[in-house]
Amino acid sequence: MLINIENISKSFGDKTVLKDIKMTINEKGRYGLIGINGSGKSTLLKIIMGELPFEQGELSKKPGLSLGYLAQNNGLERESTIISEMRKVFDDVFRAEEDMRRLEVEMALVTDHTSAEYRRIAAQYASKQALFDSRDGYNVDVKIKTILNGMGFGDWDMDTVISTLSGGEKTRLAMAKLLLEEPELLILDEPTNHLDFKTLMWLEDYLSSYSGAILAVSHDRYFLDKIVTHIYEVERGHLYSYAGNYSRYLPQKAERRERQQKEYEIQQAEIAHMQEYIDKNMARASTSASAKSRQKALDSMEILERPDGDLKTMRLRFEHTKDPYKDVLTVKDLEIAVGDELRTICKNINFELKRGEKIAIIGSNGIGKSSFLKIIQGLIPLKSGTVEWGKNVSLSYYEQENLNLSTDKIALDELWDRFPQIPEAEIRRVLGNVLLSKDDVFKPVRVISGGERAKLAFCIIMLEKSNVLILDEPTNHLDLSSKEILETAMSDFGGSILFVSHDRYLLNKVPDKIVEITESGAKVYNGNYDSYCDALAREAHLAAEAAAKEALAAATNAPKKTDSSFRSKEQRKIDAMRKNRIRELEKLIEDAETRLSALEEEMTLEEVFSDYKLMSEKCSEADLLRKNLEDYFEEWTNLADE
């Protein structure tokens, strides 16, 4: 067990945020922490990290537990470079290596190998060697390169200064650094923000085999399904525990609420029955004793609290007043260009949107997905290609950051000014449907939260009643329950939807098709996100098969020195020698690695490190083995590539 929390409570002023929290984090466990915005998730994380005190309860940690916390504030040094920031993780390894070189020099200067001074230096050397080996010092650069590649920095200049990176790039780099640290407990706060699909899939694969425990706060339900095996939910200050991933949590929560309600109703019926018996029989001499006994039982009964109802959730329903023709949108040879100079970032975009279809647009970060949505609406210039909308089409547009809202207006006026013909009571009802009510409707748009601005934008779409919805990252800023409600509203909508999203759970539930935009064009995939992934896997398999066939054909059709049907005797001899040498190298590599491992173990023994001559011999042998291994690997790679 890494962490155990017993009955912790935390208040801010007179507001109780967490009450009687119980939580256990075991070694190698995979935990998701969920809850609506403001429920207390971040408070709980800060308590676990020791950054916040608590009023009551107990928190115990495994002695020496190493914690790694990826907060939304990344904590990188602004003036550092990418590579130097990553190498900071291994400062102890580099210091140990420097100390080893220094101690080797000191040992060489001591002539009496039986002296206390020599034994002291040798013991220090063995200690540094053990640390270096335990941290896999010889593979530090390989580890750094692997993690940076996975997190999308493979092609970057490693001397790039961190202050020049965007917010999303800094977050990815902070994640890379944390993964290199390999803490026993990895605490991640919204780890999938700012990641494209390729990086997301790499991260999920990496975390699936991570050796430590993971506690992740996330609104990414696909991530929670793939990574975690236990869900903790903070709700109304309490912490509820569910076995399994996010999809398994949903029915368990419903079952818990139903069970609690039934238990409460059964107990209330029992209490009423007992009280009725007591009232009727307490005054009678013949039944007074029995009534008193029941009164005693009733007084000692642990009364169940009335279960809390479901938290209030928004209500969304998108409707349209008229149907368009069958052909809603036709895009031909469209080029996506951005900036004042209209710099092209992708071209040859071709696809069609039909009546009632729901199509998701995906692609790597920066490929121009949001720009595409603006181009087809005429909000930014069209450089080349054609965009043709069908007849009777009416559009509603959800802008990713809701920049089309008037920030100086109050929420009520932002909606009412757009629909002045609608009575105020109806405007307030629509706002109430998305949980904007009472004083919230009088707040300026600029001060309400991102989630509230998103809900205000949905109100506009509901009242517009358009038959085509264009949505740019509509689940951003929404909590989990709001995402579920939005998905249902999108699925139930009878019109057409064209939307951009990184939310893979949404991409699995809503679209009929997925259009992937790349630099060279757009490719249409039928089905949802899982179908898209299956199609990619098939494409990769077919590409590998084609490459193998092409290689075989090239080998078969290669020019021969003699006739066209058979290789010459000399060629067969060379090929046989190459294969034999590969087998020899594989055996040499295996033997060298085995001997090197044994040597490193021997150098930690006192009888070895206390004998300078013997220690020097073993160090020399180890250095030679490492050099030989490099040569063997290089030769093996060259021969295998031929």
The DSSP bridge partners found for residue 396 are 469
Q: Which two tokens stand for residue 224?
A: 């929670």
**What is the C-alpha separation between 415 and 436, in angstroms, rounded?**
12
Q: What is the DSSP letter of 102?
A: H
- Which pLDDT score is estimated for 565? 42
Q: What is the DSSP letter of 475?
A: T
Task: Name the nearest CA neighbour of 182 among 148, 211, 152, 142.
Answer: 211
| Non-local CB neighbours of 31 within 8 Å, separated by 6+ positions | 25, 213, 214, 215, 216, 228, 229, 230, 231, 232
- Which pLDDT score is estimated for 74? 63
Q: Which two tokens stand for residue 22?
A: 């119980």
Q: Which two tokens stand for residue 365?
A: 């970060």
| Non-local CB neighbours of 119 within 8 Å, separated by 6+ positions | 610
- Which pLDDT score is estimated for 610? 60
**What is the C-alpha separation between 207 and 374, in angstroms, rounded?**
36
- Per-residue pLDDT tens over the stretch 558-578: 655 444 444 555 666 677 777
**What is the C-alpha separation between 184 and 275, in angstroms, rounded?**
55
| Non-local CB neighbours of 38 within 8 Å, separated by 6+ positions | none
- Per-residue pLDDT tens over the stretch 221-275: 999 999 999 999 999 999 999 999 999 999 999 999 899 899 999 999 999 999 9
How many Cβ atoms from other residues are within 10 Å of residue 204's Cβ? 18
Q: What is the DSSP string of 356-388?
A: T-EEEEE-STTSSHHHHHHHHHTSS---SSEEE
In order along the chain (642 residues), what is the average pLDDT of each group of 10 residues? 95 92 96 91 92 93 91 75 94 92 89 88 91 87 90 91 88 92 93 86 92 94 95 94 94 91 93 92 87 92 84 90 94 90 89 96 90 94 93 95 89 94 93 90 90 94 96 92 94 97 95 94 94 89 81 68 50 72 82 80 70 68 79 78 66
**What is the C-alpha separation between 273 and 263, in angstroms, rounded?**
15
**What is the C-alpha separation between 220 and 202, in angstroms, rounded?**
15
- Which pLDDT score is estimated for 274? 92
- 3-state DSSP helix/strand/coil % of the chain, to nearest 5: 50, 20, 30
- Which pLDDT score is estimated for 562? 47
- Which pLDDT score is estimated for 628? 82
Nearest 10 degrees: Cα torsion 128, 134, 136, 137: -10
**What is the C-alpha separation between 582 and 217, in angstroms, rounded?**
49
Exposure letters 10-49 (e unless 16+ CB within 10 A, then b) = beeeeeebbbebebebeeebbbbbbbbbebbbbbbbbbbe
- Which pLDDT score is estimated for 58? 95
- Per-residue pLDDT tens over the stretch 181-219: 999 999 998 888 878 888 898 999 999 999 999 999 999
CA-derived radius of gyration, the chain: 33
496 touches 318 (CB < 8 A): no
How many Cβ atoms from other residues are within 10 Å of residue 345's Cβ? 16
Element (H, E) at 216: strand 213-217
**What is the C-alpha separation between 575 and 296, in angstroms, rounded?**
95
- Which pLDDT score is estimated for 545? 80
Q: Which two tokens stand for residue 426?
A: 């109806």
Angle at which helices 116-134 and 612-641 cross, to 10°: 30
- Which pLDDT score is estimated for 33? 96
Say whether 39 sits in a helix, a strand or coil.
Answer: coil
Q: What is the DSSP letter of 493?
A: -
- Which pLDDT score is estimated for 259? 92
**What is the C-alpha separation between 309 and 261, in angstroms, rounded?**
9
CB hemisphere CA count around 475 (13 angstroms): 26
